[in-house]
Structure 1
Amino acid sequence: MKDKIIDLLKNSNNEFVSGEEISKHLGVTRAAIWKHINALKESGYKIESVSKKGYRLIGCPDILTYEEIKEHLTTKFIGRNIIHFDNLDSTNTYAKSIADTLVGEGHAIITEKQLNGRGRLGRQWISQNSKGIWMSLILRPELDIFEVSKVTQVAAAAVNMAFRDIGVESKIKWPNDIIINDKKVCGILTEMNSEINIINYIVVGIGINVNNDLDDFSSEISDIATSIKIESKKYIKRNELVAKIFNNFEILYNDFVDKKFSTALNICKDNSYVLNKDINIIKNGEVTSAKAIDINERGELVVKYENGSIDKVLSGEVSVRIKKN
């Protein structure tokens, strides 16, 4: 009901809409309209109320509901069904808990604050209230399960493109981090539910530090983490950025499902943070030095060890760190 009221107010060309008109259009009492208007005000919408004139929308909050994102969407299915929360333990965890009850794909779980966000290898992701983007997409591609790791790079390419769309340059640290000025601004966590060779669903979690300030980062992570606002020196409209990610993701995802992974792959290679650099590969607690020389058609990182041998590193198998000289 609240979404329908906002739609009416947004489409009023900044004119007042009477309570009676809204009541007739939606088939509810004027008392119910008044109650929903107050709830919208509590959510952050600025609505002017004038006796005998009605209501007029004069400002929208920076919240990531479908109502605030849809006007920027060009997608057919990605992000067309959004489940929004004020706070949630983990969008990936919740997405997995409901995936079997949903039909189709492209559903998005978005929360304003994530209480127990997770990164790769079980690491915690700090998720401040209404300053970042914490979301998960539910996908059901008809793919071989060995192709699933590529979805992470499809998502990374989509985020990289969306950043560029808002005038922010970034790099992709294979396979799942987005870097600005040598600091992490975004992490991607892909999880799968499958049976032998059948994918039931994939959940792609994307966490982005958007409008965080310097004092939002503890001293332990301030030298390795940052936000778009800190690096670009400008406030970012989160709803527009989410829509740009969804728009780019749908294009790249459709190509990927149609066996055209090269589209996303080329973006990851052209904007790579690790290629042609000396890196440390960390596996089972052991650190091995190598040089990153390519990302192949399977999405694997191709490395050259100090003894001259060439190897392929699988996503999810290791952590990769730029070697400090």
Structure 2
Amino acid sequence: MTTSTPTSPAYILNLYCPDRTGIVHAVSGFLLEHGANIEEAAQYNDHDTGLFFMRVRFACGAHSEAVLREELKAFATGFGMTLQLHAAAEPMKTVIMVSKEGHCLNDLLFRWKSGLLAIDVRAIISNHRDFYQLAASYNVPFHHIPVTAATKAQAEAKQLEIIEAEGAELVVLARYMQILSDNLCRSLSGRAINIHHSFLPSFKGAKPYYQAHDRGVKLIGATAHYVTADLDEGPIIEQDVARADHTDTVEDLTARGRDTESQVLARAVKWHSEHRVLLNGHRTVVFR
């Protein structure tokens, strides 16, 4: 019998390490010894890389978060384990970046205010002024930062300053149509999600619906992925598709694609904010 209660703080533990026997038993035993009650658990053995991944949500009122962190750190050394502990009740501080198409931004803001996403939108950054009224309607600070070839470095420095000042754990590129520099990509590594209006790796670049229409595809799609310095090649979190046929115009594909983009991005943001996504090299492990 554990000492946790319905009011005990909940935590999410993510970990990965070289695979070996006894890891689940050891993690469960550690939590039991610390008076924790496991509420949800999932694990994955990647036979290609020899790595073991695990996500555990547990409640524990017997020890403080600081104590749990220190003792988990000692526990991890015996397994060569990399782990992260998160307080489940804390929404993820988020900054959204957008250009001139607002369907993904509008969808995320609505889901956030409806309590459907475990995020806290701290700011919206845009290289255009189009959505300052939308931001104001949600009482979110709006930062207009124009970007040109001559001012790109200064603009990105200002963007990063805002992101860090807000303590953002997540940056969402909700149809932000500027290519980020290598330096900014490195600064946001593992915490920036982009929505690409294509079923990557097909039809990369700025106008995939035109490419798709030109090739007469029967499926169009959208891809949410982590941002890396390699354009449109970051680890994929989520994808989905919609049907197309020979009667569709580029405008038809674009309109249909917007719904798919919004849904795919929202799922990726949800899973990331709930700490369900673990990086596995160029791939991801997603505990849905």
TM-score range, shorter chain: under 0.3
TM-score (norm 2): 0.26
Structure scoring higher RCO (CA < 8 A, sep ≥ 6) equals 2
TM-score (norm 1): 0.24
